[in-house]
């Protein structure tokens, strides 16, 4: 075809290009995606006796209207789930043409593609003063009969953290949930602790059907860890490679838990949390792990608690013992005991940046010292070669040690300590050292410090409300896990298999369940408090000082004083959060939304109702913390940082 020259060739080329464009556009329009659709339930035709029938009929009607011309292909829209609590509407698999037709249907409000959101112990409860003598813990009877709902990657029910020992009462009559059976998950696995198990995987199976299990069983380990931090029961003699040995327990050890395995929709979080607030359910959400850049905080809704992460006073340690008599305690999760033999300390220019696996592979026998640099590239590099031992340098060692997982001895140290090591390696007479592992130190100062990785404010959506709200332990948290999980692995496969029940994790998604547990305890003591009251009690009683009685600091080189944009109101202090409250109603939050012009078209989507109005838009919310854009802009200008917070890539520290 088209074996001609000149003008005919050009005409033929244009025809082929036109045909390809038409075919490509038509094929793309026929391709089907999963969408979350919000409907106005108040306009449901009277002919339908339930919203489920209405939604089903609406989707079926699309099947009759959309006949694609190529090959006589008829699209087949599929209804996946219907929603009538956190949202009004449904999820469905639709083509672009079907989506356009749906937008003309009565009651349609909005639709957006389904997309997955990022999934953002033995000492942590004591660190936030929830020990056996805790006033809040006793007043709440350890969270008795409070129910915590967790939306995550599922649960591993065989974990000892989910035993129901000490929970002697029946499941509260207010509980209306259920338990889904599934692959590897039967009725014998739920008890008086684990009272609800649901999974929602139809949308995910549309995209990756071979890898999605019909079960709430947690193969990733993340949901299991979050569950155990918030409400895990007491488990004695827990450790990971003898690190952090002690009794594992959640913040509310006798609370009940309902677990929901679901691919989260980013756009649905605001809607679901608003609905929960209306029903008196306190929601805490992770702030994200995109720090220390400005305006990187996620889930910055004023009706939910946005939780950031801190480092604690516990050091999971490895010690470097140098030939000049100096010992330096760093951080390590290496499962060995003592690297007793002394080895040369190596600091060579050709490999000291440690980003080239080729150069590192040529390293002679000894302990390689990596200069401070791009830690992510260094970690990728050292995992590709076999070294005798290695020293990494970073300003926030506890925040990065979890990522290392090297199969050979390693220690991560701070820059101020590294200067002594490098000086000795350069100037010493045949410098040498050995290493010792499986050490845990308590009482490290200063603590808490703001984790280096934690996302920073202000919120892009609600810049006049201070976000994050609160800080809680999130670094190197020892929590229950799944045997299939690679999270928390030390790089030693044999050891990881033998210690799967509890592993270390870091991130704001590990700090978040601490706050959820505290909210559950407060709800036990004050069952009539509103969501706003509980949120304000937690925020207004937070601590802004560390264990040296100085203002809380950043976990960076200079331990700079942390700003509210980094730590919110400060570290959570549960025992003080019993009295002082600020209250607000759902309409108060709607008035705040209405005060932002760009949100007005989304009012009905968020509130799922026509009962709210924008008659009195106001940014004057009775909230325990605020931020003024004037002060923020002045400070950014004085620091020489761009005023455009959306483009700010500088570190948002010491503000």
Q: Which residues does the annotation mark as catalytic? A: 152, 222, 509
Do residues 258 and 191 touch, judged by C-beta distance below 8 A?
Answer: no
Q: Are 192 and 162 in contact (CB under 8 A)?
A: no
3-state secondary structure of 433: strand
Gap between the Cα atoms of 257 and 342, Å rounded: 51
Burial pattern 74-90, b for ≥16 Cβ within 10 A else e, equals: ebebebbebbeebbbbb
Cα distances from 449 to residues 229, 454, 457, 515, 546, in angstroms, run: 20, 11, 17, 17, 8
Query: Which residue shows structure tokens 């040498």?
Result: 432
Alpha-carbon gap, residue 535 to 580, rounded angstroms? 10
The b-or-e profile of 328-357 (16+ CB within 10 A means b, else e) is bbbbbbbbbeebeeebbbbbeeebbbbbee
What burial letters (b/e) apply to 30-60, b meaning 16+ CB within 10 Å? bebbbbbbbbbbeebeeeeeebeebbbebbe
Give the residue among 227, 273, 291, 271 at the shortest CA–CA distance from 253.
227
The CA distance from 136 to 148, in Å, is 17
Asked whether the beta carbons of 218 and 482 are under 8 A apart, the reply is: yes
CA–CA gap between residue 322 and residue 434 (Å, rounded):
7
Q: How many residues are listed for the chain in this entry? A: 655
Cis peptide before 646 (omega within 30 of 0): no
Among residues 380, 328, 370, which one has the least CA distance to residue 348?
370
* Rounded Cα–Cα distance for residues 395 and 280 (Å): 42
User: Within 10 A of 426 (CB to CB), how many other CB atoms are there?
Assistant: 11
Integer Cα distance of 599 and 592 in angstroms: 10
Residues contacting 520, CB < 8 A, separation 6+: 140, 143, 146, 147, 148, 230, 231, 251, 252, 255
Strand-pair category, 88-95 with 32-39:
antiparallel
User: What is the C-alpha to C-alpha distance for residues 423 and 426, in angstroms, rounded to an integer?
Assistant: 5
Contact 503, 489 (CB under 8 A): yes
């Amino acid at each position: 075809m088209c074996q001609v020259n000149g003008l005919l060739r050009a005409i033929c080329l244009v025809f082929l290009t036109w045909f390809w464009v038409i075919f490509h556009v038509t094929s793309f329009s026929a391709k089907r995606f999963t969408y979350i659709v919000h409907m106005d339930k108040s306009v449901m035709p009277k002919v339908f006796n339930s919203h489920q029938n209405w939604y089903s009929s609406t989707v079926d009607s699309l099947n009759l209207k959309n006949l694609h011309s190529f090959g006589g292909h008829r699209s087949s829209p599929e209804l996946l789930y219907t929603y009538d609590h956190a949202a009004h509407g449904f999820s469905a698999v639709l083509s672009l043409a079907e989506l356009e037709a749906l937008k003309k249907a009565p009651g349609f409000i909005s639709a957006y593609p389904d997309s997955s959101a990022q999934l953002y112990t033995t000492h942590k409860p004591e660190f936030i003063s929830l020990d056996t003598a805790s006033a809040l813990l006793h007043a709440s009877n350890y969270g008795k009969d409070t129910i915590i709902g967790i939306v995550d990657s599922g649960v591993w029910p065989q974990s000892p953290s989910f035993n129901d020992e000490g929970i002697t009462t029946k499941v509260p009559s207010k509980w209306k949930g259920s338990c889904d059976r599934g692959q590897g998950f039967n009725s014998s696995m739920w008890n008086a602790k684990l009272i609800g198990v649901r999974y929602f995987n139809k949308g995910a199976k549309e995209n990756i059907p071979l890898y999605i299990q019909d079960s709430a069983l947690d193969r990733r380990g993340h949901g299991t860890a979050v569950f155990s931090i918030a409400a895990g029961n007491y488990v004695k003699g827990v450790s990971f490679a003898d690190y952090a040995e002690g009794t594992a327990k959640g913040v509310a050890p006798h609370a009940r838990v309902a677990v929901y395995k679901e691919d989260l929709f980013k756009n649905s979080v605001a809607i679901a949390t608003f609905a929960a607030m209306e029903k008196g359910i306190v929601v805490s959400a992770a702030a994200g792990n995109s720090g220390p850049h400005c305006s990187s905080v996620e889930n910055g809704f004023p009706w939910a608690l946005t939780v950031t992460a801190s480092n604690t006073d516990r050091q999971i340690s490895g010690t470097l013992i140098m030939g000049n008599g100096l010992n330096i305690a760093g951080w390590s999760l290496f499962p060995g005991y003592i690297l007793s033999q002394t080895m040369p300390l190596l600091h060579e220019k050709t490999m000291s940046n440690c980003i080239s696996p080729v150069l590192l592979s040529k390293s002679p026998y000894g302990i390689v010292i990596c200069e401070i640099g791009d830690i992510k590239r260094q970690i990728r590099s050292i995992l590709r070669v076999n070294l005798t031992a290695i020293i990494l340098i970073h300003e926030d060692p506890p925040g990065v040690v979890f990522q290392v997982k090297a199969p050979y001895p390693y220690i991560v140290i701070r820059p101020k300590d590294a200067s002594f090591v490098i000086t000795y390696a350069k100037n010493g007479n045949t410098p040498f050292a050995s290493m010792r592992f499986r050490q845990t130190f308590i009482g490290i100062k200063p603590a808490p410090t703001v984790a280096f990785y934690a996302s920073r404010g202000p919120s892009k959506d609600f810049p006049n409300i201070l976000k994050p709200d609160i800080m809680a332990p999130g670094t190197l948290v020892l929590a229950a896990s799944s045997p299939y999980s690679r999270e928390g692995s030390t790089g030693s496969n044999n050891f990881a298999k033998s210690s799967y029940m509890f592993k270390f994790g870091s991130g704001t998604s590990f700090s978040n369940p601490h706050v959820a547990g505290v909210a559950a305890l407060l709800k036990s003591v004050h069952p009539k408090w509103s969501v706003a009251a509980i949120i304000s009690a937690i925020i207004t009683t937070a601590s802004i000082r560390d264990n040296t009685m100085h203002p809380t600091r950043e976990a960076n080189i200079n331990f700079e004083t942390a700003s509210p944009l980094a730590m919110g109101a400060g570290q959570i202090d549960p025992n003080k959060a019993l009295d002082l409250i600020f209250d607000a109603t759902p309409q108060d939050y709607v008035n705040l939304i209405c005060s932002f012009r760009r949100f007005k078209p989304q009012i009905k989507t968020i509130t799922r109702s026509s009962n709210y109005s924008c008659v009195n838009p106001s940014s004057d919310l009775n909230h325990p913390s605020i931020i003024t854009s004037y002060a923020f802009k002045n400070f950014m200008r004085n620091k020489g940082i761009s005023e455009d917070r959306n483009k700010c890539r500088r570190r948002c520290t010491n503000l």
